[in-house]
A = this chain, B = another copy of it.
């Protein structure tokens, strides 16, 4: 898998996914991530199906979902994903102040996660959820 598959050179199967991406997102372009995945059409189809389902509006609004995506991508150090989902978050209204607060929470969580692990802090009894249905 290498190179970027442009719409003009894409197979009908790949074009169908590109068309669905643009229609779902109400845009007229497809970003490089999908053009890279398109080297393996089954991968392109499967990942897009997951993204379309997971990122759709639901119990969480689309902006919150993009913020969560950025938080994970920053923690994992994925430069492309920080750029692409950061742009998606801004397109959905993320302000500079919100981004600064997102990074503050991400930084803090990465810090305190290590304290909790190092000190092997026992989980408080009242944090333990009762089993489902009780």
A residues near B (Cβ < 8 Å) are 1-5, 31-33, 36-37, 39-40, 42-43, 46-47, 50-51, 53-55, 58-60, 64-65, 67-69, 71-87, 95-124, 126-134
- Measured between beta carbons, the chain B residues less than 8 angstroms from A51 are 108, 112
- Looking at chain A's contact residues, the main secondary structure is helix
11 contacts between A and B (CB under 8 A): A2-B132, A3-B133, A4-B122, A42-B53, A46-B104, A68-B105, A76-B109, A76-B110, A80-B122, A83-B123, A103-B118
A100 nearest CB neighbor, chain B only: B40
Q: Which 10 A-B pairs have the closest CB atoms?
A: A3-B132, A3-B131, A72-B109, A59-B97, A40-B100, A78-B113, A111-B111, A80-B116, A107-B111, A83-B127
